[in-house]
Amino acid sequence: MPHLHTLAVHAGREDFGQLGVHAPPIDLSTTYPVPDLAAGTASFDALVAGEASAANPIYARLHNPTVARVEGALAQLEGSEACVAFGSGMAALAALLMAVRTDGGHVLVVRPLYGTSDHLLASGMAGLEAEFVDAADIASRIRPTTALVMIETPANPTLDLVDIRAVVAAAGKVPVAVDSTFATPVLQNPIALGATYVLHSATKFLGGHGDVIAGVVCCSEENAKPLRQIRAVTGALLHPLGAYLLHRGLPTLALRVERAQHNAGVLAQRLAEHSAVATVFYPGMGTVANDHLAATQMRGPGALLAFDLHGGHAAASTVMKAVRLLTPAVSLGSVDSLIQHPAGLTHRVLDEATRQATGITAGLLRVSAGIEHVNDLWADLSAALETARG
């Protein structure tokens, strides 16, 4: 098996020689001619049943070749049999919850996780009863109707780590879904640790340039079929232009993640020494749950960090207003560095008690390090901190 750096460049391009192309082609067709009705009907039946492909794509909501190529690439990177791409990360999660709902109405969830994911689960909009538990309590909270165990590691926004192997063992026969957006396949492969599903907001590191919204679920072929069925019925297929941009970003994935990770580590250390900062949350610094997993479960601490300011909300607001190089915006995983306020933005949908219980304080800021020169990033961030300190 080639190294991940090599796979990132070549995966999903296996048919390029036959096609006579060097860059991923974009198929924008909405419909496909059906000259033979019997063959067309057979293709339709196969795609509606959730098969990965058929002789005729029939209709773009059922299948698109450009999307299929990037799905194949990401399956190789995650070490899964299949990958199913959606129009956003939330569309991917919603489809997964719909797919497992037939197995029971109960889901165990470990907090913290992305605010909108938490909201979807807690609100009951997905038609499931979400029970929020500590990872250590999973085994004792499994019910006959438990359809899924959901975790995010590293967690958004506190960077807490969850032991995937331990969760899989505690879940027993219940499938485990891991949101691995922060880690990417470069730093973590949950399938190899026993997880059933791996989710990515592909908008983030996988796309990597802030110009595509996408989500993927990597899993076995058996589990991919109902996801494709739901995707076809709900119209949640990733647009081929988005798939092209996503595929275009993969060759530099490892390089981007490794450079951004270096920057995050330097920034975390410097922030820890700054008098305006109360605590820095970054794997490997002893400030996140299960910190040791950064060196065992993962292949590095990642490119995200968070820090809590002594001045609370006022200081956080001032820093976001004062930065000039870092972009004050939600999202993460882009080539440029972003800074945002979880309590006021990404996790605003959670009630105050939940935010406090999961460490999302009024003074917490989250930074997604980009690939700029780290000294320039620090000059900008430290100047903003001095402004906040007054």
pLDDT (0 to 100) of residue 258 = 98
Residue positions annotated with a catalytic role? 61, 114, 179, 204
Q: For residue 104, what pLDDT is reported?
A: 87
Domain annotation for the chain: domains and CATH numbers: 4-252 (3.40.640.10), 253-389 (3.90.1150.10)
Predicted local confidence at residue 294, as pLDDT:
97
Residue 56 to residues 29, 38, 83, 232, 325: CA-CA distances in angstroms? 12, 11, 20, 15, 49
pLDDT, residue 390, reads 63
| Among 296, 232, 7, 281, residue whose Cα is nearest residue 99 | 232
Neighbour count for residue 51 (Cβ, 10 Å): 17
Partners of residue 107 on adjacent β-strands:
130, 148
DSSP single-letter state for residue 324: S
Q: What is the chain's pLDDT, residue by residue, as a tens digit (390 residues)?
A: 899 999 999 999 999 999 999 999 999 999 999 999 999 999 999 999 999 999 999 999 999 999 999 999 999 999 999 999 999 999 999 999 999 998 889 999 999 999 999 999 999 999 999 999 999 999 999 999 999 999 999 999 999 999 999 999 999 999 999 999 999 999 999 999 999 999 999 999 999 999 999 999 999 999 999 999 999 999 999 999 999 999 999 999 999 999 999 999 999 999 999 999 999 999 999 999 999 999 999 999 999 999 999 999 999 999 999 999 999 999 999 999 999 999 999 999 998 999 999 999 999 999 999 999 999 999 999 999 999 876
Strand 338-340's sheet: what is its strand order?
Answer: 277-281, 304-309, 364-368, 338-340, 327-328
Dihedral sign of CA atoms 41, 42, 44, 48 in order = positive
Main-chain dihedrals φ then ψ at residue 17, nearest 5 degrees: -60, -45
Which whole-number Å values give the CA distances from 145 to 39, 100, 105, 170, in the listed order? 41, 11, 6, 16
What pLDDT does residue 124 have? 94
Q: What is the pTM of this model?
A: 0.97
Predicted local confidence at residue 91, as pLDDT: 98
Which of 319, 316, 374, 332 is closest to 155 using CA atoms? Answer: 332
- Report how far residue 12's alpha carbon sits from residue 54's, in angstroms, rounded to the nearest whole number: 18
Specify the pLDDT at position 207: 98
